[in-house]
Structure 1
Amino acid sequence: MSLRADLSSADLDEIRQSALGAADPLGVAAELAEAAESGRLADEEDAGYALALAGEIAESRAKHDAALRYVDRALEAYGKRDDSRVGAARGLRARILFRVGREDEAVAELEPLRPLLTQYGDAAAYVSAALAVGGRHRVAEEWLTEAVKTALAGRDGEPASADDAGLLFFLLQQRHRVRHVLGLPHDTHDNLAERLETKLANTSAQAAATPADDLLFFPRAEFDQVIAEWPALAEVYGGDWDEHRARLERELVRLAGVGRTGLALLRGSAAGLKRQEGDRAAYAKQLTGEISWPPERNAPCWCGSGSKYKKCCRPRV
């Protein structure tokens, strides 16, 4: 597999979904590292992401020394950045350290990530995954419990915003899974996690209100045509297809968090929107094709990428 020049963030996302099925995944990892370090990325700030992805591929093939080298170079490339991607890279580094028996170093890598549990929706997944590799399920349960309590503190059990609702959902969900692994009895937070899961799975019920035009979903080719025809709609739908999907996923999580059931996306097209002269609300009202949300974790993602939901749009919070 030969990677083209000027790889974008979207290209890297696609490689992440397909690399493990490639004929030579380690070759893909090496090419990613070379692309990051020779300036063959569309955005030089993606160098850390490309190198971390190389580390993830090497780890999956038990090439732990190479994986650790890649992730160390990723963290160097990230520099002083402090966001969820950096946290994910540090979680990956801790995971690799656990695999090679350097447990004290792994725990030291994870400790500073604890505050991220109440800042980023995907932090619960990469922190608990690293602890699971080290057999530290009880530590994961302790950290997630503390994060849930922090997320709920002073709010009478109700999240203060849509972002808080999404974050709480993923915290509760991850904590619930860890407690299941440990065989612990259900508590109040477990019951809340199950109620939220049930609400989200209840896609057969009708939505409480007419779907809003901001739940319009455009497949990749259609999205590109829409933005080319109406550049101002990038403010509404996102500047690229990845942002488009991420915005929709966040909005669906928010709606689920406030009790909406029967959630679905409206599949749109550039031609259809053009017939309505770019009037989004009018176009949404006449659409009938819906995509139920959420899919099962192992089912194909709602966006049509062909990847499983759990490895595609679900982590995008």
Structure 2
Amino acid sequence: MPTKTDLTSADLSEIRQSALGAADPLGVAADLAAAAENGQLADPRDAGHAFTLAAEIAESRSKLDAALRYADQSVAAYGDRDDSGATAAHAVRARILFRVGRGDEALAELDPLRPALTRHSDAAAYIGAALAAGGRNRLAEEWLTEAVQTVLGERAAAGQTADPVSADDAGLLFFLLQQRHRTRHTLGLSHDTHDNLADRLETRLARTPAAVAEDDLLFWPEAEFATVVTRWPSLTEAYGTTWDEHRAQLETRLTRRGGTPVLLSGKADDLARFAGIGGPVDTNARNGYARSLAAGAGVLTWPPSRNEACWCGSGGKYKKCCLPRSR
């Protein structure tokens, strides 16, 4: 992890991307906790984020005592804040409580988070993962159904149709429907009207000019690419063995497609959350993740002009960076 005195939010994001591939991830977790405890964060409000990250790293290595200790510190650091970071902290703590056999406490941690399902787009993934870890998929389905119905009711009250007409129109509802759809699939339940809405919305997003139905135009920035191929080595077949190869493949595909295609800039952690804890990162998961990016802020327009900064984020001009790679 960085050795600088004050860690910024960007540093924490970089650590999140690379920690699980580090030689000593538990050491990274301990260093993060120490940085939060000793005032080594550029913004003290990032303490909760640092502790949550430390908890997730320790949990990934089945060091549950340490993970729970960090999760306790994360919840304490967030205090009474009501934002997506605080929701994630409580959900991670609940997930760990389930794993150590303290199910009643885990449910008590999660129950107050139910309103967050209709406020924060990532709440469905965190809360759903926590309930799944405790074998409470049926409860997750109930909560997600209630949240979907609440959002649909709010749309009706605002004069909006129950069936969104675009990605922007769908908003948070899209993520709720997706998480509910996956949960019901795990339970082996047949499709209902909300599942049909989820399917229609995914199909509609796949057909919009700003969306891509397949994962072949998923772009992984350099740090994200390193994390993806470390966590899932088999994905080198889809994305290339090196970042240079990855960029060259994308530039070639974009050139051959013609028109005005787009890139979908991905994050390894978000792909993992989309697939679900322990879920396969297969073609279906990657396609679904691509559609979710198309519904949010992950779209990059292509191509830039020759003298503009390259789309890959290298800082170089397009004409000297990725433009020649298609050749």
TM-score, length basis structure 2: 0.64
Given that 1:94 and 1:106 are in contact with CA atoms closer than 8 Å, whether structure 2 keeps it comes out as: yes
TM-score, length basis structure 1: 0.66
Over residues 149-184 of structure 1, what are the superposed CA-to-partner deviations in whole Å (9 max), with x where a residue is unaligned? 000015141569987722000000000000000110
* Alpha-carbon distance between aligned partners in 2 of 1:81 and 1:150, rounded to the nearest angstrom: 23
Q: Relative to 1, partners in 2 of residues 1:66 and 1:251: Cα closer, same or farther, differing over 3 Å?
A: closer
Instruction: Give the drift of 1:3.
Output: 3.5
In structure 2, what residue type is equivalent to 1:142? E
Instruction: Give the drift of 1:42.
Output: 1.4
Instruction: Give the drift of 1:65.
Output: 0.9
Unaligned runs of 5+ in 1: 209-216, 221-241, 243-248, 257-262, 274-288, 292-301, 305-317
Partner of residue 93, structure 2 = 93
Q: 1:198 aligns with which of 203, 224, 236?
A: 203
Superposed, 1:159-170 pairs within 5 Å as 165-170=170-175
In structure 2, what residue type is equivalent to 1:174? Q
Partner of residue 127, structure 1 = 127
Unaligned runs of 5+ in 2: 212-218, 223-266, 268-290, 315-327
In structure 2, what residue type is equivalent to 1:37? E
Q: 2:302 aligns with which of 259, 266, 289?
A: 266
In structure 1, what residue type is equivalent to 2:172? L
Partner of residue 66, structure 1 = 66
Given that 1:8 and 1:41 are in contact with CA atoms closer than 8 Å, whether structure 2 keeps it comes out as: yes
Partner of residue 231, structure 1 = none
Q: Relative to 1, partners in 2 of residues 1:34 and 1:267: Cα closer, same or farther, differing over 3 Å?
A: farther
SS in 2 for 1:272: coil
Q: Relative to 1, partners in 2 of residues 1:30 and 1:250: Cα closer, same or farther, differing over 3 Å?
A: same
* Alpha-carbon distance between aligned partners in 2 of 1:44 and 1:33, rounded to the nearest angstrom: 13
Instruction: Give the drift of 1:55.
Output: 0.6
RMSD: 3.3
SS in 1 for 2:295: helix
Instruction: Give the drift of 1:43.
Output: 1.0
Partner of residue 34, structure 2 = 34
Q: Relative to 1, partners in 2 of residues 1:70 and 1:164: Cα closer, same or farther, differing over 3 Å?
A: farther
SS in 2 for 1:62: coil
Given that 1:6 and 1:40 are in contact with CA atoms closer than 8 Å, whether structure 2 keeps it comes out as: yes
Q: Relative to 1, partners in 2 of residues 1:175 and 1:255: Cα closer, same or farther, differing over 3 Å?
A: same
Instruction: Give the drift of 1:269.
Output: 7.5
Of all paired residues, the percent bearing the same amino acid is: 64
Q: Relative to 1, partners in 2 of residues 1:164 and 1:70: Cα closer, same or farther, differing over 3 Å?
A: farther
Pair 1:44 & 2:49 matched: no
Given that 1:162 and 1:254 are in contact with CA atoms closer than 8 Å, whether structure 2 keeps it comes out as: yes
* Alpha-carbon distance between aligned partners in 1 of 2:204 and 2:163, rounded to the nearest angstrom: 16
Partner of residue 189, structure 2 = 184
Over residues 93-144 of structure 1, what are the superposed CA-to-partner deviations in whole Å (9 max), with x where a residue is unaligned? 0000000000000000000000000000000000010000000000000000
Q: Relative to 1, partners in 2 of residues 1:268 and 1:39: Cα closer, same or farther, differing over 3 Å?
A: farther
Instruction: Give the drift of 1:80.
Output: 2.3
Q: Relative to 1, partners in 2 of residues 1:271 and 1:7: Cα closer, same or farther, differing over 3 Å?
A: farther
Instruction: Give the drift of 1:61.
Output: 0.7
Pair 1:15 & 2:7 matched: no
Given that 1:165 and 1:254 are in contact with CA atoms closer than 8 Å, whether structure 2 keeps it comes out as: no
Given that 2:205 and 2:294 are in contact with CA atoms closer than 8 Å, whether structure 1 keeps it comes out as: no
Given that 2:117 and 2:144 are in contact with CA atoms closer than 8 Å, whether structure 1 keeps it comes out as: yes
Q: Relative to 1, partners in 2 of residues 1:56 and 1:118: Cα closer, same or farther, differing over 3 Å?
A: same
Instruction: Give the drift of 1:10.
Output: 1.4
